[in-house]
Chains A and B, each alone.
Chain A
Amino acid sequence: MSRIKVLVLGGLWRNNPALVQLLGLCPLLAVTTTLVNGLTLGLATLVVVATTNTIVSSMRRSLMPVVRIPLFVLIIASIVTCIDLLTSALLFELHEILGLFIPLIITNCAILAQAETVASRRPVTESLLSGIATGLGFCGALVALGALRELVGQGTLFAGFDLLLGPWAAALRIDLPFEGMLVAVLPPGAFFGLAVVLALRNLVSARTGPSVRRMRAVPARRS
């Protein structure tokens, strides 16, 4: 398997930051009350991780190990601040809902882990692809959990998409003929939901594909 394929598949599925590495669980649990919330935070994270990877990778040869972590944090923090400002300007109502969790992307360890294990060791293309794959993997987990909790918790799907895509998207909303059980939208529901998504992922992964063990051996050679 080519290295790129390994990295991309790893980010999306085998080493999914949220569902396998269990990184970034705080935003994952906190914002996924609806699909649109999960999707928005997922997209924001995707942009951050892809950009950070590209920048870090392009200067990986001149990095001095002692200053690398502060530099990563500086880069991540400024990109996140930009995204925070831009969402506040362009998607104000969503920004009001997601609140603190967009600035908190800075503390998402999945992003720092990418910068440390992939971007500071691999060429730009590989790092960018890996970043996109990781971001998509994280976004996918947020979307899956958001959809599950919205469905069970309030009996709707795609509610509030007009906040993200404009007024026409209000028509996307699907209402199911039941009112939902509150526990799914409340914090305990986040944990139950995550458990269900994790179990499903493990089930699928046990039934298909090569063993998890082989995958674990591949990334991050220490140089």
Chain B
Amino acid sequence: MKFAVAPGPHTAPIASVPLTMRRVLYALTPAALAHVWFFGSGFAINFFVAAVTALVAEAAVLMLRRRPTRVPLRDGSAIVTAALLAFAIPPLTPWWIPAFGAATAIVVAKHMYGGLGRNLFNPAMVGYVVLLVSFPAELTQWIPPRMGDLDYEHLGFLAHLVYSLTGTLPPDFTIDALTRATPLDLVKEGLRSAQTYTEIRAGSLFGGVAGRGWEWINSFIALGGLYLLYTGTIRWHIPIMLLAGLLVPATLLWLIDADSFATPGFHLFSGATLLGAFFIATDPVSAAESDRGRLIYGAGIGLLTYCIRTWGGYPDGMAFSVLLMNSAVPLIDRYTRPRIYGRD
């Protein structure tokens, strides 16, 4: 016999918060390793700093609010926030960037709205956007991926750590010489200055589908996403509709004018598309409630991301789109409220 499944309120779910968070972290591990392989140890340092800050901030706020600290600190939600933030910021960055981002995420986005389960906005994205708007210079300094044939200077773990703590690079290095525009930046600026997409794609930072290194990291993220789908940690509505919302307009415009619009494949494997689809937008707290609502919510994020990437002022728009759709969730929920049995 098959039972209908509908959104809450119900009896307690079987999957607990710690289990869910642990699965999310497992799912992110391959991508994290790939990130460290391609972009160096910066990711690990940033993740560590963000996680410690997030836990300290969580503990501090819980104590201020006179709430028990043991359970919330162990549920792993702060660690997941820290991990998502570490994926969003550039690997080579001063320590206070991840620290400030994580603190903003936990204190402002999570606890000022009432703590886990009550946050209106996705904490990691709030932390990232505050960083992006406040410190644009630090947040746009990406280093190129580790590729044998690229003009690429590899910094070891120690050099990363020293830069993170003191802001000084080994002699003979300057931050301007180390950093490169990201593939999304290149496409955006190139299309603006009337280059065709094919010309831009010929650049050395591009691989088979999208940016080199990036396409691998994003593939691992998709793998992790499939694991989450398989274990039932997330449901298909948001990821599928998000990808559709992004890829349908991308495909249409690319078919119309392949010179001035990037390929759908590029959009799929660039920036935060897959991370957003499987890990960010699926945050159950800040997403819409009902299945129908989640379809709208996901599609909205995808479409907005495409618009910001193509016509907006920033190269990627996932964070802004998620926050915008977060703010639309109460409205979506209102119009997609399931019928109450025996009423209406």
Contacts and interface: CB of A to CB of B under 8 A. Distances in A.
Interface stretch (B21-29, B127-135, B178-186, B195-203): B127-135
A188 B121 CA distance: 15
Contact of B136 (A182, A184, A192): A182
Contacts of B130: 183
Contacts of A182: 133-136
Interface size grouping (class) on chain B: under 10
Contact of A188 (B133, B135, B136): B133
Interface size grouping (class) on chain A: under 10
B98 to A, nearest CB: 15
Nearest to A153: B134
Contacts of B136: 182
A182 B139 CA distance: 13
Which of B133, B134, B135, B136: most chain A CB closer than 10 A?
B134
Contact of A186 (B108, B133, B135): B133
A75 interface: no
Nearest to B133: A183
A25 interface: no
A183 B134 CA distance: 5
A181 interface: yes
A154 B323 CA distance: 26
A33 to B, nearest CB: 14
A184 B100 CA distance: 14
Interface string B293-335: 0000000000000000000000000000000000000000000
Contacts, number: 13
A109 to B, nearest CB: 26
A181 B130 CA distance: 9
Contacts of B135: 181-182
B301 to A, nearest CB: 20
A186 B108 CA distance: 17
A168 B32 CA distance: 57
Interface string A5-34: 000000000000000000000000000000
Contacts of A192: 108
Contacts of A184: 134
Nearest to A181: B134
B319 to A, nearest CB: 13
A186 B133 CA distance: 9
A197 to B, nearest CB: 14
A219 to B, nearest CB: 32
Interface string B201-224: 000000000000000000000000
Contacts of B134: 181-184
Interface in A178-208: 181-184, 186, 188, 192
A197 B134 CA distance: 20
B106 to A, nearest CB: 15
A188 B130 CA distance: 9
B101 to A, nearest CB: 11
A177 to B, nearest CB: 14
B8 to A, nearest CB: 30
A188 B133 CA distance: 10
A186 B134 CA distance: 9
B126 to A, nearest CB: 10
Contacts of B108: 192
Nearest to A183: B134
Nearest to B100: A181
Contacts of A186: 133
Nearest to B136: A182
A182 B138 CA distance: 12
A182 B132 CA distance: 10
A167 B135 CA distance: 32
Interface in B115-158: 130, 133-136
Interface of A: 181-184, 186, 188, 192
Given A182-B133, A186-B133, 11 more contacts: A181-B134, A181-B135, A182-B134, A182-B135, A182-B136, A183-B130, A183-B133, A183-B134, A184-B134, A188-B133, A192-B108
13 contacts: A181-B134, A181-B135, A182-B133, A182-B134, A182-B135, A182-B136, A183-B130, A183-B133, A183-B134, A184-B134, A186-B133, A188-B133, A192-B108
List 7 tightest A-B contacts by C-beta distance, closest first.
A181-B134, A183-B134, A183-B133, A182-B134, A183-B130, A186-B133, A182-B133
